[in-house]
Structure 1
């Protein structure tokens, strides 16, 4: 879903690109209103996937930095998603600052996190990790 509103800044696109693999593309500068909308949408999608382990790819290549409150919303959402069986998270940052900020907030033991520069590598890694989890 792509969203741009009066109070929100930025946009996003979230869809299931493979069975149990969700892609979230973040675009532009975000505020808390946009972050909350994106978080709500991915939580709703997670409801459909929660019966089995699933993965998310967060593509940040066209996303700009956001206030700290946005990262706190992401962390709270990640905790909720883990209760809905999220087990694999691939991140594609646009720069080292984003990579550093994401890695600081991704210290979760029960979920696999990996940073990638290439979209195809992120997808393939997620698919492999899900296969190993199922074995």
Structure 2
């Protein structure tokens, strides 16, 4: 049975950063569309490297099926040259679940790692620093 999507998000891509915002409680249907949209954007843009910067401070968690979709999507993103993931989040539980997603993909790890903070500006600065470090090492 197909259910109506719950929750919402925004996504934009610029300067090798995929910026996402997540709101509300998510179900599998929304997570699938979210991951499909990320895959479409990265496939079209085809960046040589990129990072994910997420604002999840207004996200209210998800059904278990969402995490399975995130496991798959994380592996796909790393295989398509995602080098880091920085997330602004208020929940320790959210950080734990994202850590589980990373652990479920042991062969697929973002080379720049992950960073979590409640402070949006701190995450933004970290993401930009990761890009500058990577560009510097790529010269």
TM-score of the superposition, structure 2-length normalised?
0.84
- In the TM superposition, residue 127 of structure 1 has moved relative to its aligned partner by 1.4
- Count, aligned residues: 129
Tell me which residue corresponds to 2:43. Answer: 47
In 2, distance between residues paired with 1:133 and 1:48? 22
1:87-126 mapped onto 2 (5 Å cutoff): 87-107=83-103, 110-111=109-110, 112-126=113-127
Q: Structure 1 stretches of 5 or more lacking a match? A: 1-5
- In the TM superposition, residue 88 of structure 1 has moved relative to its aligned partner by 0.8
In 2, distance between residues paired with 1:59 and 1:122? 9
In 1, distance between residues paired with 2:43 and 2:128? 20
Structure 1 outlier segments of 4+, above 6 Å:
none
- In the TM superposition, residue 79 of structure 1 has moved relative to its aligned partner by 0.8
| Contact 1:27-1:60 at 8 Å conserved across structures | yes
- In the TM superposition, residue 105 of structure 1 has moved relative to its aligned partner by 2.0
In 2, distance between residues paired with 1:104 and 1:78? 11
Q: Structure 2 stretches of 5 or more lacking a match? A: none
Tell me which residue corresponds to 1:57. Answer: 53
Structural RMSD (CA): 1.7
The secondary structure found in structure 2 opposite 1:106 is: helix
